[in-house]
A and B are shown apart, each in its own frame.
Chain A
């Protein structure tokens, strides 16, 4: 099995900030709006380099969203970012009408996302944005796995035409993708070869999936196909259908509610094309809470262990052709 090594830890927000500054170099119609958290979501890198193309809007995410639409309708490529809790939800009507319906070329950064924002607690732990964002017509949705990928993804959404949302985090996470590796919006990357079970993940759960695959091989001889599905919309139907057909069992993993996010998107694809058992790893219909990121990953079931247990369960469901495991066995109690 292909080995992946950690080359240090860095938050994905650094990738976003640096990618945005690079876009500023390349295109002089890239503009950025600040919403009083520029040092947190690192739009500050752009601001320092291109002060003339940076506008402070204040703590006003709704206004920033519609102003961005106005700028886009005037031929600019506006980016704005805040915490995901406020760039996906506070402004959701504005996103739907002014951005998505207008098909305005607005790029939205959702920072400090997920449970790993840590001690700030539930109000700041957005766990529902993938779900909401991917239901908006015209919207592209990207959830990069690490620093390098966040940088590539930021540049990619800047270079495409149309509204796009990129989700990234606050805490340092393992860097394992290569600077030179291929990144294409809408095209998932197969990270490990295997036909026993497919693990389809996004964001920081991709690294946990690699760890789970290593453990599955070590302890059970199971070869898992790990797929980094960084683009949730448009979803990579081919890669998912191939995985379903060739593995016959799927686990999805995301730092997000189990409803409506990556898991939901994968289930829509397989239900239509090639139904196979799927187990969903994510936050189970609950709000988050204060704590340290690692501690919360454990408490809310977002580690390789849940992926490992879910893989065994998905395989068992496939092999016993059971249609009724739902509600009978709870993954949380499955013996690892």
Chain B
């Protein structure tokens, strides 16, 4: 059985239907990419999964539990972390305070300290700057902080919304390398990206979203060679 199953999801903003019956699955250990143009509904889907928006219809099951009836603040302790679009780190708090908030629902101080060490190992720049106010970090560092903060909850699955947005090509590659490392460490990843080429190059499977509908799905390597995808999303 899949780890995360989204079925016939419909989401509205007022009278506007943004998600028009979307279904997909994420299996444990996979990187799943959800690609699509700006405004396709990628962020809306992630926000609905973690409870920041309520769906009108459809179901979201995570390890057999119905997430549509779970309040947003109870999701993270179930093992699901969300790196939101635009990073949304706490600008006025320090790097360390942000990371500690990532472990907000965890109780065991020793385990939290161990996770913090791992996060620092993965993102040495965060360790160097642990006392710095987060709002003064560069864009790439803020993205690393957002990812580190999510990892602090020790999630089973991590949802990432456009982690490459606004970063230089060099940093984009670095971020995607980290995503692979996160997967290899055993965390499942649901990756939302406009940068389809990069996303498909790290993903196992992918879904293509167009104005609220999934129009294509398949193995990431197949989609990379698909002519219509090449034309519409890969700029070839």
- Chain A bound to chain B: no
